[in-house]
Amino acid sequence: MSDPEQVLYGEKQILENKLEPIPNPAPGRPYMITNECPEFTCLCPRSGFPDFAVIRIAYVPRDYVVELKSLKLYINGFRDRHLFHEAAVNTILDDLVATAFPTWMEVTGAFSVRGNIRTVITARHGERPPGI
44 classed as catalytic: yes
- Tens digit of pLDDT at every position of the chain (132 positions): 556 679 999 999 999 899 999 999 999 999 999 999 999 999 999 999 999 999 999 999 999 999 999 999 999 999 999 999 999 999 999 999 999 999 999 999 999 999 899 999 999 999 999 999
Domain assignment present for residue 73? The answer is: no
Give the span between the Cα atoms of 122 and 29, in whole angstroms: 26
Note down the domain range covering 34. 27-62+81-132
80 classed as catalytic: no
Domain assignment present for residue 86? The answer is: yes
**Residue 97 near residue 125 (C-beta atoms within 8 A):** yes
Say which CATH number the domain at 55 has: 3.30.1130.10
Indicate which residue of 3, 44, 63, 94 is catalytic.
Answer: 44
Domain assignment present for residue 75? The answer is: no
Please state whether the predicted TM-score (pTM) of the whole model is above 0.75.
yes
**Residue 100 near residue 64 (C-beta atoms within 8 A):** yes
Domain count along the chain: 1
- Identify the pLDDT of residue 4: 65
Q: If phi over 0 gives left and psi between -120 and 50 gives alpha, with beta otherwise, what is residue 79?
A: alpha
Domain assignment present for residue 112? The answer is: yes
Domain assignment present for residue 22? The answer is: no
Indicate which residue of 37, 42, 51, 63 is catalytic.
Answer: 51
